[in-house]
Structure 1
Amino acid sequence: MIHDQRAEKFRQIVENKYQIYNSLFMSLPYDKMTNIGMLLPFLSEESKAGYEAGKTPEEIVEEFFKNHTDLQTEEQKLELLFKIIQYIERQVVLFDSIEDAAFPNLHSESDSGTITNLYERSVQDNKLDKVREKLKDFSVKVVFTAHPTQFYPSSVQRIIQDLRRAIAADSVTNIDMLLQQLGKTPFVNKQKPTPVDEAMSIISYLRYVYYDTIGELFTKIRKMFGNGNFHLPEDIIQLGFWPGGDRDGNPFVTAEVTKTVACELHIAILKSYYSHLKYIRRRLSFRGVSEVLNQLNDELYGAIFNGRDISAEDILKRAEEAENILINQHNGLFLDLLINFRDRVKIFGTHFATLDVRQDSRINQKVIDEVFAKLHGEREAGFEEKFSQLIQQQEKVNPDDFEDIVKDTLLTVSQVAEIQQQNGMRGMNRYIISNSDAVKDVMNVYAFFKVCGYKDEEIKMDIVPLFETMEGLANAEKVMRDLYEHPVYQRHLERRGNQQTIMLGFSDGTKDGGYLKANWEIYKAKEVLTRLSEENGIKVVFFDGRGGPPARGGGKTHDFYASQGKTIANHKIELTIQGQTITSIFGNKEQATFNFEQLLTAGIENDVFKNSKKDLTDDEKALIIELAEISYQKYSDLKAHPMFVPYLQEMSTLEYYGKTNIGSRPSKRGNGNELKFEDLRAIPFVGSWSQLKQNVPGFFGFGYAMQQMKEQGRFEEVIELYKGSDFFKTLVLNSMMSMNKTYFPLTYYIRNNPKFGEFWNILFHEYRLSKEIMLELTGFHMLQQEDTLSRKSVKIRERIVLPLLSIQQYALMKIQKGEGNKEAYEKLVTRSLFGNINASRNSA
């Protein structure tokens, strides 16, 4: 019933509004684009009917030209296709804005997974004290990364924000003006953004969305769950930050960039306090109080504009002074305003978000080898010898004695203490190591600090291994056991409060092992590492490198975390959020509040409301292991197929990701010309499958594994697993979300290709099999049946971009045949990437 009401509401306030406002595009003053709005429906129709009839994209686009235009030359046709792309890009923006504006009307404060719902449930079940207890030992940390999954320049982002407000107010005049502005505003970055550009883009979200969102959410939780004895920890919701600190595979992130970004974060939070204080001073105009606040105002101004030092303690001291006068002399009038301000200072300190440093273990090894060689000559030495020599090094090494990456790494480590001094200890406190698969990977980082002159007790940094490949995950237990037993590291952990953060990479895990296997290996690693940490008296925190779409570890985040049972440590939910996911699910106050609440309640529900469906029995585990192994074998065979990389290289948009100027990082590791599977980055890899509308990493092997069970007469066991395990059910539903975004008719033409036909058929056969068997498993009639809003949103978005996909495939076919203006067709492919990337935003 509720689903039906929501579906009807979606139709009224999203679909209908889109139809109405979309018609405004017809009269926009686009250059030579007046008739695009009339031509586009024809291309949409030709595409839909053509693909179902098995026509090629080339035939569809050529027939469109012939039947609906009188264009003769290639140049005229190309010009029209570019104009259509621009038009569709703006339709996507309009739909995004309408859907965002509708968000508060489609979700209620007491929905499942909200704070209100948690409170009502805890009162009903007499678990209020248990929830309060858990709130003291739990936090959520969202870490913003700059991984490029969206390309809107900041000028377009600002129009989107204004458009959302105008749509919420149903102001047709403003909407019309903003659509005109959108029509004239370029959608493409002329150059790649620098890491500082990326950082500044996300810092604007910190200032204008998260400062208020998190502050108000904190107040709401405190008021709802508070009583005389309960103190809500200020760090219950935390922000992390990677742009400017994440140098893994990004040569443009240097020590200087890291310092600049740390500085920008510091200034941004002080500016937020300064603005907030301005508002408070309008109310607290009383004698004594206003003088103290004016003084704080001047101190903040001096710190922002004249580089004076100010700490969170300094700000809190002034606020406390004002509070005492307010209570003693003015009856505590407007006291809540001051308390809210004080809460923000405790939440955000002088750092706003914690800037992490991340680097690949192989680069770290190179640094250690060169430093050792410089100090002790080129002699051969094993890890233990190198390590013990380097940590006993009395004299600080000079970064200027080295070149390039070695020099920069030493400079980065050397300036940590300086950043901590300016931004506070929470400003920078971890070094993350990608591709960790040995103890030395962690200990090398410890050695960096020693050779940079830090005493043991001055190393105020957590060292975080990141396990991401199948091999790395399988090795995680041994690495952590050896680390916990290493005397130097043991003492370091003691100084860090016996807490260890371990990062697990879903994106690269899925790329490496396929969807089911990657998720299971990570679940298993969490169980093993939880047990191991407990045995060693260590509090373990898992940090999940989750992407946006299910194929990169995304999917329904609340369901995923709420499905982890008591065998997995649950002190904190920490995950990465990037690119389009920042804007689509944390992009404005209403959405950010809702999604922060979903994460928070998922972790608390796990401990407080026990449920047998969260804990896997031995039989259920055994069955998942069987399914994961079969699926992994199937996916590994696909990866080993000689056409796997050539197919992506020649038939997809993989090669074009690097030309999009949407991120500062190169789209592949390594410098060689020959493309190897391991050099592929997860985002272009998953994105290329998505552009082909095949989404292979999100389902491949999963259906085959279940089919094998069925052939053995054991499908009933899989059905029982689906009904009995929330974890397995979440994986199935997320995989169905991936499949709902596939559209194989787009590439039917490849089935007859002499080189790739056989490979395409393998993909198509597995898709059909997976869809069929998952529908049978769930009892659904259609994919995503249980998620009405997401299904409807996907359907409209897919309809909007179908002509865009036709244009992209048409251009790819022309390039493959070597026909016409190659440069123009390549540009066409790159441009059509943008609209497709942005249209699939609701994948988190």
Structure 2
Amino acid sequence: MPQLWKPANWSDRLAELEARTGDLKEAPLRRDVRSLGMLLGEVLREQAGDAFFQRVEDLRLNAIRRRETQAEGQQQQADALMQSTVAGVHSLPVDEAYYLTRAFAFYFDLINLAETNHRKRRRRSLQLHNSEAQRGSLRGTLRAMREAGITAEEALAYLSRIFVVPVFTAHPTEVARRSVLFKRRRIGEFLAHLDSIPLPDEEMQDLENAVTAEITALWQSDEVRSRRPEVADEIKMGLDYYEVSIFETLPRLYEEVSAALASEYGLTLDAASLPLMLGFGSWIGGDRDGNPFVTPQVTREAIHEARTRLLDFYLTRVQQLIDLLTTSAQQLPVSDELRTRLDNYLAEIRVGEDVLFGPRFQFELYRRYLACVRARLLRTAGHAAPNADSLEASLAALPPYCSAHDLMEDLSVLRRSLAAHRGERIAETLVDPFLLLVRTFGLHLHTLDVRQHARIHRKALEECSAWQAGSNENAVEIPQHLSPSTLDVLDTMRAIQEVKASCSPEAIRQYVISGAASASDVTAVLWLARLAGINPAGRDGDPGLMPVPLFESIEDLRNAPEVCRELWTNPAYRELLASWGNTQEIMLGYSDSNKDGGMLTSTWEIFRAHRALHQVAHECGITLRLFHGRGGTVGRGGGPTHRSIYAQPVDAFDGQIRITEQGEVLNFKYSDVVLAERNLELMIAASLDALARPNARQPDGHQTGVLEPAWESAFDELSSLAYDFYREQILHDPEVLQYFEQATPVSELEHAKIGSRPSRRGGKMSFDSLRAIPWVFGWTQSRLLIPAWFGVGHAFTAFLQKPGGAELLREMLTEFPLFIDLVRNVEMALAKADLGIASLYSSLVPDAGLRERVFTKLKAEFERTREALLTIAQQDDLLQNNPVLARSIRLRNPYVDPMSLIQVDLLRRKRALVASSNGAASPELDAIHRAIAGTINGISAGLRNTG
């Protein structure tokens, strides 16, 4: 086989990488996809035989023919093609169906890697053309601000208000195993290296061989877990991204900010002089709402593991400084400040400098000083010295760092000395990035949020009040006759108290209250915290423990402003607010509000709550920080980052924002340094854009974010129409839930071993017990994506029938960011959905009458939504204005479809087997479970969603 990546000439390859528009810029992606597909085919033939490869090809070609026939309007022939393919799949043994699924899933793994590599490629291309700053980039946002008349001083003031905190969560966690993710990253690294110009033939062949070997290794590995992951596994997976990308990304990102300020405003600020714009958080190991496996001990371990990872990284960086910072006192002196601090360290261990170091680092005082810093870090990390005679053992008497401030001061002393003695370049290159990392991560890496449901707290409060009136300072003996849930709450509070008494009390700052509905839900947490010996007030380096109410249902979102007014006007609570810098964090739930009221109403009520909460906060003199609980899919608040942040209400954003990063998107966003940098830049740039609103200062005032009265009235009406329709047709129709259980693979979540958390809160499935994640998961896997669009079509259609309705909605689609975000997200979901495949899933419902009634209803609303959206957008087709996404979906569908057909057949086989064996376990059932898990993995990879 000729070399797949070898160009005809290297000039053409360079032109592709530099191309800004047209087919030329997409040529490298097409080559990667084609080459990876050919290598996968080679591996399949080698590993499974020519006959197996031919079956894969037959399935793929049938899927393509069905799509083409359907596009030509020949639905009957398309249905016949699908039925013949289903019959062929049904004749296969389970293990062969499983391996066919694996083949298609592997194709998507490789295609996703190719698309990821192309995103990195396009980012580099943009960086080569700084004059073409795009909206969404920092440079583009700053340019818009400058052109709108915002001065350099104002721009810096805006930038100093930005603080973005991505919060990693495990649910629904990445489907693939951790070891598989590592193998994928290796292939991604090889692909990136193939873009090097020029490459000798031998090196290119070696890279191609390496890619083939990794594909082979992937094929021979179990791509899904044989056991459900434990929380400890999820903790490790979340922490991996710091080492994979984030530690390296941050200094580069701040350098990009500096370069953008220099380019657009002529400001020369180094990264060390910039305001801190990013922090990180996690729920993994702290989110116990409905997850019995997140125990107080797990929370302790999560904090310990994060701290250990960070300190080990710091130790590596300090050792790097020791290795590189070889400046000699015979060449340049050090500052008196550094010399004094070194002498003080030596005095603490009572060993003379010459005795301690001997000939080691004789004139290299920076290295001697850093040896002391490293010794303190070793003590902080709890590492023992390797042997009694070593330098580290002699320095082990130095005290550990008990605050990040102490470590920063030691590093700052080093930096000042270098800067004062012609070492500014060295300081900028070696010390400043380290200082930035310590400023960002402290000694704890990220804040771990603890989360529990309000009803659990209410029960605990009721039980505890019988034996304890409360104590503001001292913990009390806990009687063991309390219920298990109450004991868990109190044990959790004790674990928090231990963290607060440690050297990193900032490791836990927020306590999130799911299902918050009243001010008493917040004060209950404060009472329980004090009972366990926690002082919620911030003091002496401890930021305190802030209860964060999470408003999830439509009703709770509507009541949130008055609940917070009651809270913020309470004199006792005002004292706590003062200790937190008069700042309050509130969390808004996207997933549950969507399940409760549908896509359109959820979007609008979150917007209204956001705006009203800021108004109440302003009246009460409170700085409000909102925590947006977004998921990865549209049905759970997902969508393009910049567009969603910019869609926040005008004058209801102070620059601080926390956003959940769900497990399903972590690998997509943080698996590589370039991707992580782009994702974090997007969040900073979008926040700056939403805060400064440069569009509002331009003469045309295009998409300023200002909500016109007519638009608000229209949104109110649309929301009311959608809400009533959604509640009547979905929540209040018991047949829908019955259909959902039977026509989707939602019940397979427990066998798919995706995450540690149960899919529902115990008992028989109901809309109350069913979590939002499996609700979205089931509809996504069955290719209907109901949560992302149901009710929208009904509301749009009714509004379009009003005089002037179409014109008003088109005006909103042109000018109002929230409506733009809503419509484009719905459009994307409609494009990913497939009624033909969904009808096949509906055949799993045994009751023909129920099947027909529900599917007919869902299909009618789908068609209504599609038609209304195209009418408003004045388009002939979905994604007409987003050809890149349209092409990606069009190319993916023929590869997703076979896995859907196999999944339906496996579900049918499983149900027949369970019925015939009365649910008894068997090797055959285990094999089906494994195969179904494979289809879930493959469809998720194909759609780039799990739920």
Identify whether the pair has TM-score above 0.5, normalized to the shorter chain.
Answer: yes
- Partner secondary structure for residue 512 of structure 2: strand
Q: 1:785-829, CA deviations, whole angstroms, 9 ceiling, x for partnerless residues?
A: 222333322333322221101101122334456699666545433
8 Å CA contact retained: 1:397, 1:452: no
8 Å CA contact retained: 1:47, 1:806: no
8 Å CA contact retained: 1:467, 1:476: yes
In the alignment, which residue of structure 2 is the partner of 1:831? Answer: 934
Residue in structure 2 matching 1:374, options 438, 460, 467: 467
> 2:89 and 2:768 mapped to 1: Cα distance?
42
In the alignment, which residue of structure 1 is the partner of 2:638? Answer: 554
Residue in structure 2 matching 1:572, options 656, 669, 672: 656
> 2:473 and 2:193 mapped to 1: Cα distance?
66
In the alignment, which residue of structure 2 is the partner of 1:24? Answer: 39
Query: Are positions 1:244 and 2:285 aligned together?
Result: yes
Letter matched to residue 37 of structure 1: F
8 Å CA contact retained: 1:147, 1:578: yes
8 Å CA contact retained: 1:248, 1:434: yes
Tell which deviates more after alignment, 515-524 or 651-660.
651-660
Q: Trace 1:65-76 onto structure 2 (pairs within 5 A).
A: none
In the alignment, which residue of structure 1 is the partner of 2:889? Answer: 794
Letter matched to residue 112 of structure 2: D
Q: 1:329-375, CA deviations, whole angstroms, 9 ceiling, x for partnerless residues?
A: 55445111212211211111011111111100011111111211233
Alpha carbons of structure 1 residues 842 and 792: separation in structure 2 relative to 1, 3 Å = farther
Letter matched to residue 809 of structure 2: V
Tell which deviates more after alignment, 405-414 or 478-487.
405-414
- Partner secondary structure for residue 569 of structure 1: coil
- Partner secondary structure for residue 773 of structure 2: helix
Q: 1:384-404, CA deviations, whole angstroms, 9 ceiling, x for partnerless residues?
A: xxxxx4356866243766453
Query: Are positions 1:534 and 2:558 aligned together?
Result: no
> 1:235 and 1:332 mapped to 2: Cα distance?
21
Q: Trace 1:442-841 onto structure 2 (pairs within 5 A).
A: 442-455=522-535, 457=537, 460-608=544-692, 609-611=694-696, 612=701, 613=703, 614-639=705-730, 640-669=732-761, 671-672=762-763, 674-713=764-803, 714-749=805-840, 750=842, 753-815=848-910, 824-841=927-944
- Aligned-residue offset at 1:38: 2.1
Letter matched to residue 596 of structure 1: L
In the alignment, which residue of structure 2 is the partner of 1:306? Answer: 383
8 Å CA contact retained: 1:26, 1:34: no
- Aligned-residue offset at 1:687: 1.1
Tell which deviates more after alignment, 758-767 or 281-290.
281-290
Tell which deviates more after alignment, 208-217 or 518-527.
208-217
8 Å CA contact retained: 1:365, 1:444: yes
In the alignment, which residue of structure 2 is the partner of 1:103? Answer: 119
Gaps of 5+ in 1: 67-73, 376-388
Residue in structure 1 matching 2:256, options 214, 220, 234: 220
> 1:539 and 1:208 mapped to 2: Cα distance?
35
- Aligned-residue offset at 1:571: 2.4
- Partner secondary structure for residue 105 of structure 2: helix
> 1:622 and 1:211 mapped to 2: Cα distance?
47
Alpha carbons of structure 1 residues 552 and 331: separation in structure 2 relative to 1, 3 Å = closer
Letter matched to residue 282 of structure 1: D
In the alignment, which residue of structure 1 is the partner of 2:492? Answer: 412
> 1:268 and 1:595 mapped to 2: Cα distance?
23
- Partner secondary structure for residue 587 of structure 2: strand
Letter matched to residue 454 of structure 2: S
8 Å CA contact retained: 2:176, 2:223: yes
> 1:566 and 1:396 mapped to 2: Cα distance?
48
Q: Trace 1:56-135 onto structure 2 (pairs within 5 A).
A: 59-61=83-85, 63-64=87-88, 77-107=93-123, 108-109=126-127, 110-127=133-150, 128-135=152-159
- Aligned-residue offset at 1:573: 2.4
In the alignment, which residue of structure 1 is the partner of 2:245? Answer: 209
8 Å CA contact retained: 2:171, 2:664: no
> 1:817 and 1:557 mapped to 2: Cα distance?
44
In the alignment, which residue of structure 1 is the partner of 2:309? Answer: 268
Letter matched to residue 738 of structure 2: P
> 2:595 and 2:503 mapped to 1: Cα distance?
37
User: How much is the aligned-residue C-alpha RMSD, in angstroms?
Assistant: 2.7
Letter matched to residue 111 of structure 1: Q
Alpha carbons of structure 1 residues 291 and 618: separation in structure 2 relative to 1, 3 Å = same
Residue in structure 2 matching 1:176, options 212, 218, 225: 212
8 Å CA contact retained: 1:36, 1:87: no
> 2:84 and 2:238 mapped to 1: Cα distance?
41
Q: 1:103-153, CA deviations, whole angstroms, 9 ceiling, x for partnerless residues?
A: 122232333211122233334444232221111112111000010242111
Alpha carbons of structure 1 residues 44 and 224: separation in structure 2 relative to 1, 3 Å = closer
In the alignment, which residue of structure 2 is the partner of 1:378? Answer: none
- Partner secondary structure for residue 431 of structure 1: strand
Alpha carbons of structure 1 residues 36 and 232: separation in structure 2 relative to 1, 3 Å = farther
Q: How many residues get paired?
A: 820
Alpha carbons of structure 1 residues 393 and 416: separation in structure 2 relative to 1, 3 Å = closer
- Aligned-residue offset at 1:318: 2.3
In the alignment, which residue of structure 2 is the partner of 1:152? Answer: 176
- Aligned-residue offset at 1:837: 1.6
8 Å CA contact retained: 2:174, 2:754: yes
- Partner secondary structure for residue 301 of structure 2: helix
In the alignment, which residue of structure 2 is the partner of 1:379? Answer: none
Alpha carbons of structure 1 residues 325 and 19: separation in structure 2 relative to 1, 3 Å = same
Q: 1:724-766, CA deviations, whole angstroms, 9 ceiling, x for partnerless residues?
A: 3121111100110111110111133548933211210111111
- Aligned-residue offset at 1:641: 1.8
8 Å CA contact retained: 2:639, 2:825: yes
8 Å CA contact retained: 2:86, 2:902: no
Letter matched to residue 105 of structure 2: E
> 1:399 and 1:60 mapped to 2: Cα distance?
66
8 Å CA contact retained: 1:42, 1:64: no
In the alignment, which residue of structure 2 is the partner of 1:380? Answer: none
Gaps of 5+ in 2: 1-16, 71-76, 128-132, 195-206, 328-363, 385-398, 917-923
Alpha carbons of structure 1 residues 490 and 399: separation in structure 2 relative to 1, 3 Å = farther
Q: 1:215-262, CA deviations, whole angstroms, 9 ceiling, x for partnerless residues?
A: 321233245437589985653111111100110110000111101110
Alpha carbons of structure 1 residues 49 and 242: separation in structure 2 relative to 1, 3 Å = same
Residue in structure 2 matching 1:428, options 508, 525, 530: 508
Alpha carbons of structure 1 residues 166 and 392: separation in structure 2 relative to 1, 3 Å = closer
> 1:395 and 1:196 mapped to 2: Cα distance?
29
Q: Percent identity?
A: 23
8 Å CA contact retained: 1:46, 1:60: no
Query: Are positions 1:288 and 2:379 aligned together?
Result: no
- Partner secondary structure for residue 908 of structure 2: helix
Query: Are positions 1:186 and 2:216 aligned together?
Result: no
Alpha carbons of structure 1 residues 582 and 11: separation in structure 2 relative to 1, 3 Å = same
Query: Are positions 1:365 and 2:380 aligned together?
Result: no
Q: 1:498-538, CA deviations, whole angstroms, 9 ceiling, x for partnerless residues?
A: 10100000011111110010010000001111100100000
- Aligned-residue offset at 1:457: 4.2
In the alignment, which residue of structure 1 is the partner of 2:201? Answer: none
- Partner secondary structure for residue 598 of structure 1: helix
Q: TM-score, normalised by structure 2?
A: 0.82
Q: 1:421-479, CA deviations, whole angstroms, 9 ceiling, x for partnerless residues?
A: 54634311010000000111100000012211235646811110000111111111221
8 Å CA contact retained: 2:561, 2:609: yes
Alpha carbons of structure 1 residues 229 and 578: separation in structure 2 relative to 1, 3 Å = closer
In the alignment, which residue of structure 1 is the partner of 2:163? Answer: 139
- Aligned-residue offset at 1:165: 0.7
